[in-house]
Amino acid sequence: MLSFYSTKKQIENVSLKDAVLQGLAVDSGLFMPSKISSIEPLFFDRIFSLSLPEIAFIVSKHLLNNAIPADDLKKIIDVSMTIDAPLIKLSEEMYVLELFHGPTLSFKDFGARFMARLMEYFNRNENNDLHILAATSGDTGSAVAHGFFNIPGIKVWILYPKGQVSYIQEKQLTTIGHNVTALEVDGTFDDCQSLVKQAFSDRELCKKMRLTSANSINIARLIPQSFYYFFAYAQLGKCTDPIVVSVPCGNFGNLTAGLLSKKMGLPIDRFIAATNINDSVPRYLRTGNFDPHISRKTLSNAMDVGNPSNFARILDLYNEDLKKIQKDIYGISITDFQMKDAISELRRKYQYIADPHGAIAYLGLKDYQQRRPKSKGIFLETAHPAKFLETVEPLIGEKLDMPESLKSAVTKNKESFQINSNYNELKAVFLS
Ligand SMILES: *Cc1c(COP(=O)(O)O)cnc(C)c1O
């Protein structure tokens, strides 16, 4: 049966259940599957006619290797992987994979829904509540909260940086209620992440509350994100040109999931790690030196991450071999100014309306294809443009329709709990 090791390698391997419920390993490492092997070639011959849930079942059954009985796994997939992920053709060499058709209109719905169902499954025989802690730079919080909404025996705490998420994102985070509490932190996203980490390493707290995480550090979020790379390939159809996929990166969970899919045999030639000016990884790819900076605020705020946690997983996947990492990943960093131009250009050239994050992925792909023609490129559109109205509307010169789920969030009243970035304050809230 499959087990999971910590990237810090200070602990024994654990089961899928423990990896999912612990979130972060006790040595502060991130969990990774002990074995990631190629799926049999036959699968890639018949993938072209399969649906996303069918692909998800085959991929997860292969990767998880009986860690969950097949019938139970199938049920989890069938209730969580019901989101569409259409591949849209912009030109002969450029496609966009739309990942924003879930309930909170970002790609994070895929990971959050699968993780919520997996936790519900593993928590089914417990007496005490399970508390989910999630730091969010924008979209994680609402996706996680939505995924867990009304799941019995689970309480959710969302930490977000005050004043650093968009109006609509904040509404989505703070209007859910029931088993979900929004904590508005006077600090940055990195502060929120650090608070979550401190809570997990607080033995006293962990004795009183069963805690687990729900950021992209949880392996249960990562695994389902690999499914849609396979589904993109299936929709592209048989092709002989090398396939490159451009991923807008913040915490690097999405890209890591893409690397997992490649390790499972998906024929993707190369990934493009497209960041905003928070460029720790593109700088690493250039210099071999990982020198994270404090995060800086941009218009693609879900990617404002100074020190991406999943970088540890990427290093680990490649045994820290820079040459091998460079072979698979091309890095690029994009300014707000360039991103805005890209939104206008996409509208003008392709009649496509992108959000700031997708626009960054587009520029990464465009830059790459100018240097290396003859590739089939896919860029990931990770959020619905209406989530970023303030940025997108002036650039395209038209009003965007607001999807129903956003309309209903906007009409509700914000409810949040304000705390500063001092850990004792967070702890007091938990213990009260
Ligand atoms: C979270 C997020 C990203 C960054 O994804 P990571 O997995 O953290 O790299 C990109 N775009 C949007 C819209 C997001 O919400």
pLDDT of residue 24: 85
Ligand 1 neighbour 158 (Cβ under 6 A) = no
Ligand 1 atom at minimum distance from 139 CA: 15
Amino acid, res. 343 = I
> Are the C-beta atoms of residues 245 and 379 closer than 8 Å to each other?
yes
Place of tokens 């072209």: 48
Residue 48 to residues 235, 236, 360: CA-CA distances in angstroms?
A: 6, 8, 28
In this prediction, residues 98-119 reach a mean pLDDT of: 94
Q: Is ligand 1 within 6 A of the CB of residue 358?
A: no
Q: What is the pLDDT of residue 70?
A: 97
**Cβ(276) to ligand 1 under 6 A?**
no
8-state DSSP, 30: B
Atom of ligand 1 nearest to the CA of 383: 13
Q: What is the pLDDT of residue 213?
A: 78
pLDDT score of 401 more than 80: yes
Residues contacting 66, CB < 8 A, separation 6+: 1, 2
Of 139, 144, 228, 363, the one to substitute when testing ligand 1's pocket (max ligand atoms within 8 A of C-beta) is: 139
Q: Is residue 340 annotated as a catalytic residue, yes or no?
A: no
Q: Supply the pLDDT for residue 321.
A: 98
Token code pair at residue 357: 């994050």
Q: Which atom of ligand 1 is nearest to the CA of 305?
A: 8
Element housing 381 (H / E): strand 376-381
Whole-angstrom Cα distance, residue 299 to residue 303?
A: 9
Nearest CA, atom 15, ligand 1: 139
Most ligand 1 atoms within 8 A of CB, residue of 215, 225, 245, 303 to mutate? 303
Residue 194: half-sphere exposure toward Cβ, Cα within 13 Å: 17
Specify the residue with its C-alpha closest to ligand 1, atom 2.
302
User: Cβ neighbours of residue 38 under 8 Å, at least 6 residues apart?
Assistant: 263, 264, 265
* SS3 assignment, position 306: coil
CA 235 to chain centre: 21
Q: Name the catalytic one among 89, 108, 263, 412.
A: 108
Paired with 17 in beta bridges are none
CA gap 227, 58 in Å, rounded: 9
Please give the share of the chain, as a percent, with pLDDT higher than 70. 99
Q: What ligand 1 atom has the least distance to the C-alpha of 248?
A: 10
At 282, the pLDDT band (50, 70, 90 cuts) reads: very high
- Both structure tokens of 99: 């990942």
Cα 239 to ligand 1 centroid, rounded to whole Å = 28
pLDDT at residue 55 is higher than 80: yes
Output the pTM of the full model: 0.91
- 4 SS3 class: strand
| Angstrom distance (rounded) from CA 122 to CA 390 | 41
CA angle 359, 87, 326 (to 5 degrees): 60
Q: And the tokens for 388?
A: 């970023």
Under 8 Å between Cβ of 158 and 149: no
pLDDT at 381 over 90: yes
Q: Do the Cβ atoms of 145 and 255 come closer than 8 Å?
A: no
How far is it, in rounded angstroms, from Cα 180 to Cα 112? 14
Q: How far does residue 146's CA lie from ligand 1's centre (Å)?
A: 17
List CB contacts of 5: < 8 A, sequence separation 6 or more: 11, 13, 31, 32, 34
Query: Cα–Cα distance between 379 and 365 in angstroms, integer?
Result: 7
Taking residues 150-175, report their average pLDDT. 90
* Token pair for 367: 């830059």
**pLDDT higher than threshold 70 for residue 117:** yes
SS3 14: strand
Q: Which of 106, 158, 219, 301 to mutate to test the pocket of ligand 1 (most atoms within 8 A of CB)?
A: 106
- The residue length of the chain stands at 432
Is residue 139's pLDDT more than 80? no
Contact 246, 365 (CB under 8 A): yes
DSSP string, 195-229: HHHHHHT-HHHHHHSEEEE-STTSHHHHHHHHHHH
Cα 44 versus chain centre, distance: 25
pLDDT (tens digit, 9 = 90+) per residue, 125-138? 888 899 999 888 77
Q: What are phi and psi of 252, to 5 degrees?
A: 70, 20
Q: 289 CA distance to ligand 1 centroid (A)?
A: 23
Ligand 1 atom nearest residue 355's Cα: 13
Q: Which residues contact 418 (CB under 8 A, 6 or more apart)?
A: 162, 183, 184, 186
Question: What is the rounded average pLDDT for all residues in the chain?
Answer: 94
Neighbours of 309 (CB within 10 A): 20
Q: Are strands 31-33 and 4-6 parallel, antiparallel or unpaired?
A: antiparallel
Calculate mean pLDDT across residues 322-331: 98
E-assigned strands of 28-179?
31-33, 87-89, 94-98, 130-135, 154-161
Q: How far is Cα of residue 328 from the mean position of the Cα atoms in its chain?
A: 19
Distance between CA atoms of 25 and 15, rounded to whole angstroms?
Answer: 12
**Residue 44: is its pLDDT beyond 70?**
yes
Cβ of residue 383 lying under 6 Å from some atom of ligand 1: yes
pLDDT class of 215 with cuts at 50, 70, 90: low
